[in-house]
Amino acid sequence: MRHILICGGAGYIGSHMAQYLTERGDSVTVLDNLSTGHRDAIRWGELIEADLLSPESLERAFTGRRFDAVMHFAARSLVGESVSQPYDYYANNVTGTLNLLQAMRRHDVDRIVFSSTAAVFGNPQADVIDEDHPKAPINPYGASKLMAERILADAAAAYGLRSTCLRYFNAAGALPDHGIGEAHACETHLIPNVLRAALGIGSAMRVFGDDYATPDGTCVRDYVHVQDLAQAHALALCYMDDTPGAHAFNLGNGRGFSVREVIAAAGSVSGRSIPFELAERRPGDPASLVASSARAREVLGWQPQWTELAPIIESAWQWHRSPPAWSPQPPAPGMAPAAMDVLPA
Ligand code: UDP
């Protein structure tokens, strides 16, 4: 049994991580500033309210507690927003990570699993992206995560920090039976927006661009269930026991689905028609991102359980059609972006 500090454990992926670790017998503590996460999503472990941009609050969090490892999910993570608010992204994702790593070093916590992203690759030069693909991010979000990856590699060499960067492709799905799912005050992600349109919330959803160099002109993404991401984190912890250094793995199902295909699949799952309208391209979006996760499967022994798109969407549909009372009801898809700009950092 280990004691894991989950930074960002009140958020979407972090809350699923807390459930996963607790179920397998580890103990968890959540560190979160509750800026975008939810107190009610913390159903496993104690909450420490702290902010990665406040080294003092991090110092208090680590003092008097012993963590075997840290999992770091706390970040700004919206591609479009990162283009309009780059300072926030570099501050939270780079400076915040650095503050966390320094607190870990002061308190002799020598291993971390870091949430990275397919956005570190930029516009892919291959149909399927493996770990050796060139890293050339095209938006501040991807750039900020790549900077943090570099810091982790340098820390391995200088201080012996053990780290595993897990580059998620498109996290999706929910565990409605455990009372957790994607609950953003301002929703920008495709699957939640499609499902909200299916529920008749707001008017039509928008499809951002249909003139990409993809089979149907809309962007292609590789959707991976949040519970499978949690499994990979747990495996990474074990891997680092025997393997020093800085590591990175891509996590996806290896199959790409276009925006139009996601809308069609969500229509089948929900049995509802999904109104959508075509809109301009969203700044910062690459045409296609599909993972090769061969390394994670071979080295970590990762075995995703949710390999088909329909069950992933079905789990999200169950969550969105009857969300808990605490889940925010974001503005309808198609709402003016100005409504998004006032959200706290
Ligand atoms: N997308 C869309 N309409 C929406 C939300 C997303 O057309 O309401 C598109 C978006 O432009 C991208 C894909 O869906 O091509 C996946 O976007 P998402 O925000 O879910 O994830 P990202 O790939 O940005 O991490």
pLDDT digits (tens, 9 = 90+) for 168-196: 999 999 999 999 999 888 889 999 999 99
* Centroid of ligand 1 to alpha carbon of 111 (angstroms): 32
Considering only CA atoms, which of 81, 17, 82 is closest in space to residue 45? 17
- Tell whether the model's pLDDT for residue 154 goes beyond 50: yes
- At 230-239, the pLDDT tens digits run 999 999 999 9
Q: Pick 202 or 323 by higher pLDDT.
A: 323
Q: Ligand 1: which of 190, 193, 285 to mutate, judged by most atoms within 8 Å of the beta carbon?
A: 190
Q: Which of the 8 DSSP states describes residue 117?
A: E
Kindly state if the Cβ of 81 falls inside 6 Å of ligand 1.
Answer: no
Residue nearest to atom 18 of ligand 1 (CA): 189
Which residues, other chains included, contact 4 with Cβ-Cβ below 8 Å and sequence gap of 6+? 21, 26, 27, 28, 29, 67, 68, 69, 70, 71, 237
- Tell whether the model's pLDDT for residue 66 goes beyond 80: yes
Measured CA to CA in angstroms, residue 320 lies from 4, 16, 268, 330 at distances of 29, 16, 16, 12
* Domain CATH code at residue 259: 3.90.25.10
Q: Ligand 1: which of 221, 262, 288, 309 to mutate, judged by most atoms within 8 Å of the beta carbon?
A: 221
Kindly state if the Cβ of 188 falls inside 6 Å of ligand 1.
Answer: yes
Q: Are residues 205 and 238 in the same domain?
A: no
Atom of ligand 1 nearest to the CA of 281: 11
Neighbour count for residue 338 (Cβ, 10 Å):
7
Q: Are residues 208 and 87 in the same domain?
A: no
Q: Are residues 35 and 100 in the same domain?
A: yes
Please provide the DSSP assignment of 322-338 as one string: S--TTS--PPPTT--TH
Report yes or no: 158 and 179 within 8 Å, Cβ to Cβ: no
Average pLDDT in the 136-163 region? 98
Confidence of residue 331 (pLDDT cuts 50, 70, 90): low
Cα atoms in the Cβ-side hemisphere of radius 13 Å centred on 291:
26
- The radius of gyration of the chain from alpha carbons, rounded to an integer in Å, stands at 19
Which residues constitute the domain of residue 276? 174-222+254-341
Q: Are residues 113 and 232 in the same domain?
A: yes
Atom of ligand 1 nearest to the CA of 117: 25
* Centroid of ligand 1 to alpha carbon of 240 (angstroms): 33
Report yes or no: 70 and 219 within 8 Å, Cβ to Cβ: no
Which residues, other chains included, contact 327 with Cβ-Cβ below 8 Å and sequence gap of 6+? 38, 181, 183
Average confidence score pLDDT of the chain: 94
Report yes or no: 85 and 43 within 8 Å, Cβ to Cβ: no
- Tell whether the model's pLDDT for residue 345 goes beyond 70: no
Q: Are residues 213 and 235 in the same domain?
A: no
- Tell whether the model's pLDDT for residue 334 goes beyond 90: no
Q: Are residues 236 and 260 in the same domain?
A: no
* Centroid of ligand 1 to alpha carbon of 52 (angstroms): 27
- At 234-291, the pLDDT tens digits run 999 999 999 999 999 999 999 999 999 999 999 999 999 999 999 999 988 999 999 9
Task: Provide the annotated active-site residues.
Answer: 141
Which residues, other chains included, contact 321 with Cβ-Cβ below 8 Å and sequence gap of 6+? 195, 199, 270
Q: Are residues 287 and 306 in the same domain?
A: yes
Q: Are residues 142 and 232 in the same domain?
A: yes
Q: Are residues 245 and 117 in the same domain?
A: yes
**Which of 210, 236, 251 marks a domain boundary?**
251
Q: Choose the weakest-confidence range: 53-57, 221-225, 256-260, 336-340.
A: 336-340
Residue nearest to atom 7 of ligand 1 (CA): 207
Kindly state if the Cβ of 105 falls inside 6 Å of ligand 1.
Answer: no
Residue nearest to atom 10 of ligand 1 (CA): 208
Kindly state if the Cβ of 79 falls inside 6 Å of ligand 1.
Answer: yes
Q: Are residues 180 and 115 in the same domain?
A: no
Q: Ligand 1: which of 139, 196, 208 to mutate, judged by most atoms within 8 Å of the beta carbon?
A: 208
Residue nearest to atom 4 of ligand 1 (CA): 190
Q: What is the pLDDT of residue 344?
A: 30
Considering only CA atoms, which of 86, 267, 129 is closest in space to residue 194? 267
- Tell whether the model's pLDDT for residue 306 goes beyond 90: yes
- Tell whether the model's pLDDT for residue 130 goes beyond 50: yes
CA dihedral 215, 145, 327, 186 (to 10 degrees): -70
Q: Ligand 1: which of 139, 203, 282, 288 to mutate, judged by most atoms within 8 Å of the beta carbon?
A: 282
Number of domain units in the chain: 2
Strand, helix or coil at 114?
A: strand
* Domain CATH code at residue 24: 3.40.50.720
Considering only CA atoms, which of 242, 248, 244, 236 is closest in space to residue 157? 244
Please provide the DSSP assignment of 205-242 as one string: EEEE-S-SSSTTSS-EE-EEEHHHHHHHHHHHHHHHHH
pTM recorded for the entire structure: 0.94
Distance (Å, whole) CA 125 – CA 134: 8
Q: Are residues 62 and 101 in the same domain?
A: yes
Atom of ligand 1 nearest to the CA of 77: 25
Kindly state if the Cβ of 302 falls inside 6 Å of ligand 1.
Answer: no
Atom of ligand 1 nearest to the CA of 193: 8
Q: Are residues 122 and 206 in the same domain?
A: no
For residue 85, report the phi and psi dihedrals to the nearest 5 degrees: -130, 60
